[in-house]
Every structure is written in structure tokens, then in C-alpha cells.
């Protein structure tokens, strides 16, 4: 490991930005929002500056504080963590721009609290990405949970408060299981350091290691919304749309799936999971979520709830790819983390733009909205196609590798799961696009002439929609996600 303070500096912009936002308050909203944008841009710049060194094979790290002998608050930047950090920090810039237009357009209350909590949530998410051991990861994991609770309950209605309480109940219960797992891991090994290929082999009996694996998956799986611990996520759609985008594309559920993959690839490792036979039950477990979430999505008329169940499906697709433990499946799972982020944030921002303009959030009332908002619905159509695995949008590449990985692992059943998932995606996305462009408006709020969203909303939507297309054509451009995924794949499978 190469000693570097860059990981620490990468955390600071969102923390400092949050403090400045709080001090600025409602009276100087332009300055408050300047701090948000300045913090997001500087955070991304610092994280991006570490990319060349990580691609050279270096792992950058710093121990901030030793808590007990052998275990401290440690930050470390490896290829896997950098994928998530680049995604979270990069999309924070876009969501910050979008949030300004959305919150002002709806004249939302408590905007200072909103921007403060948003900055703290990104602080927690990037801390999870750059955590060098399980203890550090757990601390930032909990910061992320606490910071996002006020965002979920932002509207302060009875429905919002109920959703917030459910959010905390699910996630804090999962965190208790994670804490138990971390304590047991340390008692067995005397270390909490992430190791490519895992570090638990030979440390305990099959029964204890199997129990430990179950508690890790259920604990982190609560944030990744695997069945049956998923209802908090659709309920949280009562939050403002930028918060929904944060939950689904940038921070919360992505942190959950990131942590699950950390356990699979860096705590247990492919060899141990194969020896214990644990990969197969996990694969079947998440396959049920993949299909079940898609079937539930078909029944949703509320647009954001349909998108929520789509997210649940895609998160389990990522875990399924990692569980197969083949080279291409792991690569596909790693690529789907950022690619899904770009596509899903586009869909949520489109949903928010439609609501700001028409006050409609039910799919059954959106006939003809494509005629009024062609740019918004064009971006929605593009991102929908990507999630169905249609080229040249980036979802095609990750799903292609997931399918190749299932073939490589000689698992025809799971290949069928990936294909069925894509077909069900099409079944609930394409009718929305068809109705938007080819059906006449049947609601007074939908106008039969051009009247698209404001530039504050359209520009961020255009950036992520274009990014989804560019990543589909050039998956290694600029952010080098393809190379980073390949580096992780080689390290963990060689180590395991």
C-alpha cells in the first residue's frame, strides 16, 4: 500500500461543504447552493486525480486513527472502491444542479436542511467507497443511514414520517447484524483488512463461516433491498425526486450492494465460497428478488414506485453476477454498478421533471406527455432501453458480460434469469414510452404542445442520458470503468 493523504482530502469537500451550507442558511440561497456545487466539483476532481495511480496498480491509503491495536480508522483507495467513489462524486454534481431547479420549482421548504443532509450523505457514501477495513466501512455506512433519514422524511407529512421510521427500522436492524458479523470476524481472524480473494479461509468451521456469511448478506442486504427486506425502498419514494435519485443511483442502495460485493470478493473470497458451497444458495436467493421485483414493478401505477422495484431488480442482478464467481460475471457485476447509476438517475430525474411541469406521478395519467416534453421523455426512452440491455446504451455492455459470465460458469438457469429480467424490464418500461409519444393526452395538465422542463432540470437529464450513451459506445472513456473492473476481477479471482 502506498501512503497518501489523498483519500482523506477526498472526504473533506462534502464535510466542509455541509458546514458552510448550514452556516449560510436560507437568507443567502445562491451562496448556499454555490457551496453545494463547489464541494461536489472539488470532491470529484480529487477522486479523479487518483485514477492514474490506481490504474498503475497502486493502492493509496492512510490510517487516520488507531482505535484498538491492529484496527483503526483507515482509508484506502483500490480499483473497486474507486468505481463507487467516481460514480457517487460524479453524479453528485449532476444531482446538485438538478436539485436547485427541482427545489426552487416546487418552492420546497427546509432547503438548507435538504442540501446539508445531501452533502453529509455523499460524505458517508464516499467514506464507504474508500474504507480500508470493515470497521471504517461500518462507521461511514451508519453516517449514510443517519444523513439520509431527514431526506426520506423531508415532506414531514404523516406518510413521509412513516416512511422515514420504516427506513430506519430496516436499515438499523441490518446494521446490527453487520456489527455482529464484524465482531465475530475480528474474533476469528484478528484483522478486519480487506484482502483481494478474502481472508477467512481456515479460520473456523463450515457452520460458523456459513452463519457469518448469512449475517453479512442479510445485514448489508437490508440496504441493497433484497427480498424480503425491501419494502422500505418503495415506501421511501414519498421523498423528493432528487432524494429518490440519491437513494437509487448515487448513494444508499449502491452502498448496500457495494458492501455485499466487498464481503463476497474481499472478505470471504471466491475459493472459500466455492469450497463452502455458499455461492449457489446466494445466487438462488437473489434470483428470487430479480424476478419478484420485476413482477411487482409491472403492477405499479405510481412511476417512482415502478422505478423503485426496477432498482431492486438491478441490485440483485449485480449480486447474482458476483455470486457466479466467473471472470465475465464479476466484470459484468462491477460494470453494472456505475452503468445502472447513470441510467437510473436519468429515469428518476425525468420523473421529477414531469412532476414539476404537470404535477402528475401516475403512469395512467401520462398519456401524451412526450408531445409536451419530448426531450425529457426522449431521455427516459433512452435510459429505459439501456436497462433492457439494448445497445448502444451502456446497460447492454454490463448485461452482455453478465450473460457471458453465466455461460462461462455453465449455469444455464442463471443465464435464463438474466434474460428474463431484461424481458420484464421491457414489459414495464416500453408501455410508458409508447403511451407518452403515441397516445393523446387524457389529463388536463398534459398539454398537446411543446412545453418542456426548465434548463435547470433538462441540462442534468441531458448529461446523464448522454453519459449513458457515451459509456455504451466507449466504456473506457475518461472514467476508465472497464479497466477498473478488469483490475478488480483479476485481483480477486487470482487471490481467491
State the total domains in the chain: 1
Q: Give residue 470's pLDDT band: very low, low, confident or very high (50, 70, 90).
A: very high
Q: Give residue 496's pLDDT band: very low, low, confident or very high (50, 70, 90).
A: low
pLDDT tens digits, one per residue of 244-301: 777 666 778 899 999 999 999 999 999 999 999 999 999 999 999 999 999 999 999 9
Question: What is the mean predicted confidence (pLDDT) over 454-461?
Answer: 91
Q: Give residue 362's pLDDT band: very low, low, confident or very high (50, 70, 90).
A: very high
User: Packing angle between helix 79-105 and helix 111-130, nearest 10 degrees?
Assistant: 170
Domain for residue 334, yes or no?
yes
> Across the chain, what does the average pLDDT equal?
92
pLDDT of residue 224: 84
Distance between first and last Cα of the chain: 19
Q: What pTM value is reported for the model? A: 0.95
Q: Which domain holds residue 336?
A: 323-496
d(CA 199, CA 272): 9
Q: Give residue 155's pLDDT band: very low, low, confident or very high (50, 70, 90).
A: confident
Domain for residue 364, yes or no?
yes
Domain for residue 396, yes or no?
yes
Residues 6+ apart with CB under 8 A from 418: 317, 320, 399, 402, 403, 406
With a cut of 90, say whether residue 478 has pLDDT above it.
Answer: no
Domain for residue 153, yes or no?
no
Percent of the chain with pLDDT over 70: 99
Cis peptide before 392 (omega within 30 of 0): yes
With a cut of 70, say whether residue 495 has pLDDT above it.
Answer: no
d(CA 204, CA 473): 46
d(CA 296, CA 262): 28
pLDDT of residue 452: 86
Query: Mean pLDDT lowest for which of 300-304, 447-451, 467-471?
Result: 447-451
Domain for residue 124, yes or no?
no
Domain for residue 48, yes or no?
no
Domain for residue 166, yes or no?
no
pLDDT of residue 444: 74
What Rg value do the Cα atoms of the chain yield, rounded? 21
Q: Give the number of C-alpha atoms closer than 13 A to the C-alpha of residue 152, restricted to the C-beta side.
A: 26
Q: Give residue 104's pLDDT band: very low, low, confident or very high (50, 70, 90).
A: confident
Domain for residue 365, yes or no?
yes
d(CA 173, CA 464): 34
CA nearest neighbour of 339 among 318, 319, 324: 318
With a cut of 70, say whether residue 112 has pLDDT above it.
Answer: yes
Question: What is the mean predicted confidence (pLDDT) over 483-494?
Answer: 93
Query: Mean pLDDT lowest for which of 14-18, 154-158, 316-320, 333-337?
Result: 154-158
Query: Mean pLDDT lowest for which of 44-48, 227-231, 331-335, 473-477?
Result: 227-231
Check if the beta carbon of residue 270 is closer than 8 Å to that of residue 409: no
Question: What is the mean predicted confidence (pLDDT) over 313-338?
Answer: 96
The answer to whether the Cα torsion of 439, 443, 448, 450 is positive or negative is negative
With a cut of 90, say whether residue 243 has pLDDT above it.
Answer: no
Query: Mean pLDDT lowest for which of 27-36, 75-84, 173-182, 243-252?
Result: 243-252
pLDDT tens digits, one per residue of 51-92: 999 999 999 999 888 887 778 899 999 999 999 999 999 999
Q: Give residue 494's pLDDT band: very low, low, confident or very high (50, 70, 90).
A: confident
Furthest-apart CA atoms within the chain: distance in Å? 68
Amino acid at each position: 500500500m502506498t501512503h497518501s493523504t489523498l483519500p482523506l482530502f477526498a472526504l473533506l469537500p462534502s464535510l466542509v461543504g455541509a458546514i458552510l451550507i448550514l452556516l449560510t442558511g436560507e437568507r443567502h440561497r445562491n451562496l448556499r447552493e454555490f457551496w453545494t456545487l463547489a464541494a461536489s466539483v472539488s470532491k470529484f476532481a480529487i477522486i479523479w486525480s487518483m485514477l492514474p495511480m490506481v490504474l498503475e496498480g497502486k493502492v493509496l491509503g492512510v490510517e487516520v486513527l488507531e482505535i484498538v491495536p491492529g484496527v483503526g480508522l483507515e482509508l484506502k483507495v483500490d480499483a473497486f472502491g474507486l468505481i463507487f467513489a467516481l460514480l457517487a462524486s460524479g453524479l453528485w454534481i449532476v444531482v446538485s444542479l438538478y436539485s436547485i431547479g427541482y427545489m426552487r420549482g416546487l418552492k420546497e421548504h427546509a432547503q438548507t436542511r435538504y442540501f446539508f443532509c445531501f452533502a453529509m450523505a455523499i460524505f458517508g457514501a464516499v467514506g464507504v467507497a474508500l474504507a480500508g477495513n470493515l470497521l471504517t466501512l461500518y462507521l461511514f455506512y451508519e453516517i449514510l443511514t443517519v444523513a439520509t433519514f431527514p431526506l426520506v422524511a423531508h415532506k414531514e407529512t404523516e406518510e413521509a414520517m412513516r416512511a422515514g421510521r420504516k427506513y430506519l427500522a430496516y436499515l438499523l436492524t441490518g446494521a446490527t447484524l453487520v456489527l455482529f458479523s464484524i465482531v465475530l470476524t475480528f474474533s476469528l481472524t484478528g484483522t478486519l483488512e480487506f484482502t483481494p480473494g478474502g481472508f477467512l479461509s481456515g479460520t473456523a468451521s463450515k457452520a460458523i463461516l456459513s452463519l457469518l456469511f448469512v449475517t453479512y448478506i442479510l445485514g448489508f442486504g437490508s440496504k441493497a433491498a433484497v427480498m424480503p427486506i425491501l419494502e422500505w425502498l418503495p415506501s421511501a419514494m414519498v421523498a423528493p425526486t432528487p432524494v429518490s435519485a440519491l437513494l437509487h443511483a448515487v448513494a444508499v442502495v449502491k452502498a448496500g450492494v457495494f458492501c455485499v460485493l466487498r464481503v463476497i470478493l474481499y472478505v470471504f473470497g471466491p475459493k472459500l465460497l466455492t469450497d463452502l458451497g455458499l455461492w449457489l444458495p446466494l445466487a438462488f436467493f437473489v434470483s428470487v428478488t430479480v424476478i419478484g421485483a420485476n413482477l411487482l414493478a409491472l403492477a405499479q401505477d405510481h412511476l417512482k414506485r415502478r422505478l423503485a422495484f426496477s432498482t431492486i431488480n438491478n441490485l440483485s442482478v449485480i449480486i447474482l453476477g458476483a455470486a457466479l464467481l466467473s471472470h465475465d460475471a464479476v466484470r459484468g457485476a462491477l460494470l453494472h454498478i456505475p452503468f445502472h447509476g447513470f441510467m437510473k438517475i436519468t429515469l428518476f430525474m425525468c420523473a421529477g421533471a414531469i412532476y414539476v411541469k404537470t404535477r402528475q406521478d401516475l403512469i395512467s395519467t401520462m398519456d401524451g406527455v412526450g408531445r409536451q416534453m419530448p426531450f425529457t421523455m426522449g431521455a427516459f426512452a433512452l435510459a429505459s432501453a439501456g436497462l433492457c440491455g439494448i445497445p448502444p446504451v451502456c446497460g447492454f455492455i454490463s448485461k452482455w458480460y453478465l450473460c457471458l459470465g453465466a455461460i462461462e460458469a455453465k449455469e444455464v438457469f442463471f443465464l435464463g434469469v438474466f434474460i428474463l429480467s431484461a424481458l420484464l424490464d421491457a414489459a414495464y418500461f416500453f408501455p410508458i414510452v409508447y403511451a407518452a409519444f403515441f397516445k393523446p393526452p387524457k389529463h388536463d395538465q398534459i398539454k398537446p404542445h411543446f412545453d418542456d422542463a426548465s434548463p435547470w432540470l433538462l441540462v442534468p437529464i441531458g448529461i446523464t442520458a448522454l453519459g449513458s450513451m457515451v459509456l455504451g459506445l466507449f466504456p473506457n472513456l475518461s472514467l476508465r470503468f472497464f479497466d477498473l473492473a478488469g483490475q478488480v476481477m483479476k485481483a480477486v479471482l487470482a487471490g481467491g
